[in-house]
A and B are shown apart, each in its own frame.
Chain A
Amino acid sequence: MRYIDEFRDGRLAKNIMANIAHEADVARNYNLMEFCGGHTHAISRYGLGDLLPPSVRMIHGPGCPVCVLPIGRIDMAIGLVIQHKVILCTYGDCLRVPASGGMSLLKAKAQGADVRMVYSVTDALSLAQRHPDQQVVFFAIGFETTTPPTAVAIRQARVLGLSNFSVICNHVLTPAAMHTILINEGGAKLNGFVGPAHVSTVIGSKPYEPFANDYGKPVVIAGFEPLDMMQAILMLLRQINQGRAEVENEFTRAVTHMGNLKAQALVEEVFELRDSFEWRGLGSIPHSALKLRPAYADLDAELKFSLQYHPVPDSKACECSAILRGEKRPQDCKIFGTVCTPGNPIGSCMVSSEGACAAHYTYGRFKDVAVMAA
């Protein structure tokens, strides 16, 4: 696969690792946060943690839209599909998230609710066109990468005059979350960020400038492949060692300074900022999430069906808050791997395969026990 395989070349990996080993100062520690869940997944999937020098520590950030989705929002969707008997469409990632009362969207489906997995929001729109007598609701999640597609669908629904399509909007914003990390305890200890790949193709490298200029934290935007990640880590180490704090772009083949203006304009047209939004594990963050503009009120499922949000607190034993902010590691949580597992996720970090705890459990927990290396 062109432009994928070349960026997974094991020989080039060795080269970059050698450069990293050379650059890393053994006399100090480097605490780097990779914000994006996709990057967390890549580190675990390729075993990159193994290859970094012990002085370089990767801290997993909250860039996992399923992980930060509050239970109360899933409850809302489950309530809607059971009560109003709509066709509820969502991405595969959401189906297994445990909600209140031992329920999930998948379990609701098993009980007869019409819950459908879609690969793209366009599939939900097509469903609405094919079933004009039924209400179709799209449960939208995601950071800035996934928001533009939802905006397109909403606009399209308006053009087609569809009265049976609406959206529950849970779209959230990256810079707001990064800001929250930095103003909390863990943030002070961070030496730099690996910036998200595909969010950045949409928003550009510009929004990260305050983190370098105002907080003095270097940011390097990294592509999605393992070589991209490793090169970005190298670039961060160089910045830190040279005392620089800049926004650098490793993913130049897809990310520009201003980003995708067409996508941004579409999002701007359809959505506006919520005053505040609850993030699982991070608490309420102002101006961190989107809702539909009044002009699109008829396509806003929360208004259409008068949906109420009820916050649901996480278990007291759950350390996700601290883990999402980079203050604790999965292994530090008392219930990690025992009560809380991917099969029975108690907190948000275990719920999605790219949450810090799920990634560590699935790919890396063997390092916590003494295992004979082959």
Chain B
Amino acid sequence: MCLAIPARIEEITGAETAIVNLGGVRKEVSLALVDNVAVDDFVIIHAGFALQKLDLEEAEHTLALFAEIDLQEELSQGKTGSGVV
């Protein structure tokens, strides 16, 4: 219901404003809803406002979860030697 996108802070332009960059598209957004944001941080943008800082470590962690193969599946394939448990 809420279209929001992660974008990189390119420049802090005021007390509560910044320019974000997403794939080469730049837009000024408000930082009124977040604290302690710096250049090169990633933030979630919705309707012209940054809502939250992205936790990059957690992002990597989630991607790693996607790549996990179900353990039981692995075990059942053990006979064909297709992977290490």
Determine if chain A interacts with chain B.
yes
Residues of A within 8 A of B81 (CB): none
If the complex has contacts A15-B69, A121-B47, are A254 and B55 also in contact, measured as CB distance less than 8 A? yes
Residues of A within 8 A of B55 (CB): 252-254
Residues of B within 8 A of A254 (CB): 6, 44, 52, 54-55
CB-defined interface of A10-30 with B at 8 Å, one 1/0 digit per residue? 001001101100110000000
- Whether B51 and A201, one on each chain, are in contact in the complex, defined by CB atoms closer than 8 angstroms, is yes
- Whether B34 and A260, one on each chain, are in contact in the complex, defined by CB atoms closer than 8 angstroms, is yes
- Whether A201 and B48, one on each chain, are in contact in the complex, defined by CB atoms closer than 8 angstroms, is no
Give complex CA distance A253, B47 in Å: 20
Asked if B84 lies at the interface with its beta carbon under 8 angstroms from chain A, I say no
If the complex has contacts A1-B23, A198-B2, are A231 and B47 also in contact, measured as CB distance less than 8 A? no
Residues of A within 8 A of B34 (CB): 260, 262
With CB as the reference atom, state the residue of chain B lying closest to A227: B66
Number of interface residues of A (CB under 8 A): 55
CB-defined interface of A108-129 with B at 8 Å, one 1/0 digit per residue? 0000000000011111000000
Asked if B82 lies at the interface with its beta carbon under 8 angstroms from chain A, I say no
Give complex CA distance A11, B47 in Å: 31
- Whether B1 and A253, one on each chain, are in contact in the complex, defined by CB atoms closer than 8 angstroms, is no
With CB as the reference atom, state the residue of chain A lying closest to B28: A122
Asked if B85 lies at the interface with its beta carbon under 8 angstroms from chain A, I say no
- Whether A4 and B5, one on each chain, are in contact in the complex, defined by CB atoms closer than 8 angstroms, is yes
- Whether B8 and A2, one on each chain, are in contact in the complex, defined by CB atoms closer than 8 angstroms, is yes
CB-defined interface of A232-243 with B at 8 Å, one 1/0 digit per residue? 000000000000
- Whether B48 and A198, one on each chain, are in contact in the complex, defined by CB atoms closer than 8 angstroms, is no
- Whether B51 and A18, one on each chain, are in contact in the complex, defined by CB atoms closer than 8 angstroms, is no
If the complex has contacts A3-B42, A263-B33, are A253 and B58 also in contact, measured as CB distance less than 8 A? yes
If the complex has contacts A18-B73, A119-B47, A254-B55, are A6 and B1 also in contact, measured as CB distance less than 8 A? no
Asked if A146 lies at the interface with its beta carbon under 8 angstroms from chain B, I say yes
Give complex CA distance A223, B47 in Å: 18
A residues adjacent to B (C-beta < 8 A): 1-4, 6-7, 9, 12, 15-16, 18-19, 22-23, 36-38, 63-65, 91, 119-123, 142-143, 145-146, 148-149, 152, 196-199, 201-202, 223-224, 227-228, 231, 250-255, 260, 262-263, 266, 354
Give complex CA distance A122, B56 in Å: 29
Interface residue from B1, B47, B58 paired with A149 (Cβ < 8 Å): B47
Residues of A within 8 A of B47 (CB): 91, 119-121, 142, 146, 149
Query: In the assembled complex, how far is the CB of residue B24 from the closest CB belonging to chain A, in whole angstroms?
Result: 9
- Whether B2 and A149, one on each chain, are in contact in the complex, defined by CB atoms closer than 8 angstroms, is no
Q: Give 4 closest A-B pairs by Cβ, nearest first.
A: A120-B48, A145-B2, A37-B1, A198-B2
- Whether B1 and A252, one on each chain, are in contact in the complex, defined by CB atoms closer than 8 angstroms, is no
Residues of A within 8 A of B68 (CB): 15, 19
Residues of B within 8 A of A120 (CB): 30, 47-49
Give complex CA distance A50, B47 in Å: 31
Interface residue from A9, A15, A202 paired with B51 (Cβ < 8 Å): A202
Residues of B within 8 A of A63 (CB): 1
If the complex has contacts A198-B46, A231-B66, are A145 and B73 also in contact, measured as CB distance less than 8 A? no
- Whether B1 and A15, one on each chain, are in contact in the complex, defined by CB atoms closer than 8 angstroms, is no
